[in-house]
Amino acid sequence: MMAALGFPYANLPTNIGPINLFGILLAIGVLFGSWMARKYCERNGLDEETLRWFGIRLIVWGFIGSFVLNTVFYEWEAFARDPWDVTKKLGISSYGAAVSGVLAFFFYTWHKKLDRRKWSDMAAWGAAGGWLFGRLGCALVHDHVGFKTDFAMAVDFPAKRYPFEKVDHVIRAHDLGLYEFWLWCFLIVALVLLERWKGRRPGFLMGFLGVAYSIPRFLFEFLRPDITDPRYGGLTFAQWASIAAFLMGLWLLFGPMKNRNEPLPEAVASESKPQPVRQKKPGQPKKKKKK
């Protein structure tokens, strides 16, 4: 029996004039994520000029990868039939952006000889800010609808609004965009608290994010119908990517470092401050050197 109250359906226009609602929130996410990454650099002594050079490249490659991998893993049959129809829709995949962003991250940190662990924590903040508003957009336009359910936090779709069953009554179903939005709210609060932990080592924030996001995301994918998310070896593309993210997170959390006692950026910054020179008092005799 369905619970008395479900989450209300957000009945918002997909487009506001020529502007797409999801596109607006995605752009806000990029700006918010960039701001969060910059603030992290300020707090932890990372070079902001390097951030600007680095960040724009990660964003560009992230968008390219989000479209290409979405086409390959979710819309390949439609693309084979009509490439232009798929291209003009500009469908994107969040994990597609993550995969291409990670590849770009490895290349540019190698090219610039940057410390990957320290800069990965910056990337964690940038990704979290972008993903938060991206998932808010998904929730508002109901871009990731799952199976019918009695779950109290699921969404009550009005008559003929549930995409897989056009009927004249309310259907409660999983809205995975909404679930992930709440998840990202929690993850950002956790990042704020964990950054203050003086015992964390470089790469800890990205490691935490990789593990803490990949587990629920892997499970959420079982709520999606095959018609929207094809299976490869029994799992969706996002589930395979979640496994990779989980393993990457474990490596950052527990894997070997060049120096396990390597100080955090803020510790390096404090140690680099000039120490005050002690002035001798007038008339104070000099200490004799021992022979």
| Three-state SS letters, 110-129 | HHHCCCHHHHHHHHHHHHHH
Q: What is the dihedral of CA 194, 115, 241, 132, to 10 degrees?
A: 50
Whole-prediction pTM: 0.83
- pLDDT: which is higher, 100 or 16: 100
Is 59 domain-assigned? yes
Is 94 domain-assigned? yes
The per-residue pLDDT for 2 is 53
Is 25 domain-assigned? no
User: What percentage of the chain carries pLDDT values higher than 70?
Assistant: 87
Cβ-Cβ contacts under 8 Å for 62 (sequence gap 6 or more): 97, 98, 100, 101, 104
Is 222 domain-assigned? yes
CA-CA distance, 125 to 205, in Å (whole number)?
8
CA-CA distance, 125 to 123, in Å (whole number)?
5
Is residue 60 scored above 80 in pLDDT? yes
Is 290 domain-assigned? no
pLDDT tens, residue by residue, 211-266: 999 999 999 999 998 888 899 999 999 999 999 999 999 999 998 876 544 445 44
Using DSSP bridges, classify how beta strands 15-16 and 19-20 pair: parallel, antiparallel or unpaired.
antiparallel
Listing from the earlier edge strand, what are the strands of the sheet with 145-148?
145-148, 171-175, 155-157
Is 238 domain-assigned? yes
Domain that holds residue 109: 30-141+179-256
Is 287 domain-assigned? no
Q: Name the average pLDDT for the chain.
A: 87
Is residue 276 scored above 50 in pLDDT? yes
Total number of domains constituting the chain: 1
First to last CA, the chain: 93
The per-residue pLDDT for 210 is 96
Q: Which of 101, 98, 124, 119 is nearest to 109 (CA)?
A: 119
Is 53 domain-assigned? yes
The token duo for 285 is: 């005799």
- pLDDT: which is higher, 227 or 13: 227
Instruction: Quote the strand ranges of 97-249, DSSP E.
Output: 145-148, 155-157, 171-175
The per-residue pLDDT for 151 is 92
